């Protein structure tokens, strides 16, 4: 008797996985920026950049990453 090959995940699951992955990638991209002691790409110990503590890097970007992982869990646990 031939065995039917079926995927565990359906099309909707893969769609949600891609959406979750997009949230995670956007979150990590929002965390990018200059270093605390970098001026024009060169290290300078006399300069301090307060931008490393911006709302975008501290609050919004991690929120995007966490939402992305929650979407990934939903995509895995969702039935076809």
Q: pTM value?
A: 0.83
pLDDT over threshold 80, residue 4 = no
Encoded tokens for 44 = 């300078």
Q: How far apart are CA 21 and CA 79, in angstroms?
A: 19
- pLDDT of 2 strictly over 70: no
What pLDDT does 7 receive? 79
Task: Find tokens 């990018």 and name the residue.
Answer: 32
Q: pLDDT, tens digit, for every residue of 15-71?
A: 999 999 999 999 999 999 888 888 877 888 888 888 889 999 999 999 999 999 999
Distances (CA, A) of 50 to 4, 38, 58, 62: 59, 11, 12, 18
């Amino acid at each position: 008797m031939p065995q039917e090959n079926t995927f565990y995940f359906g099309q909707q699951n893969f769609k949600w996985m891609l959406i979750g992955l997009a949230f995670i990638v956007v979150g990590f991209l929002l965390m990018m920026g200059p270093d605390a002691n970098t001026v024009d790409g060169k290290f300078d110990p006399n300069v301090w950049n307060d931008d490393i503590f911006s709302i975008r890097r501290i609050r919004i970007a991690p929120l995007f990453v966490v939402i992305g992982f929650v979407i990934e869990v939903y995509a895995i646990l969702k039935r076809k």
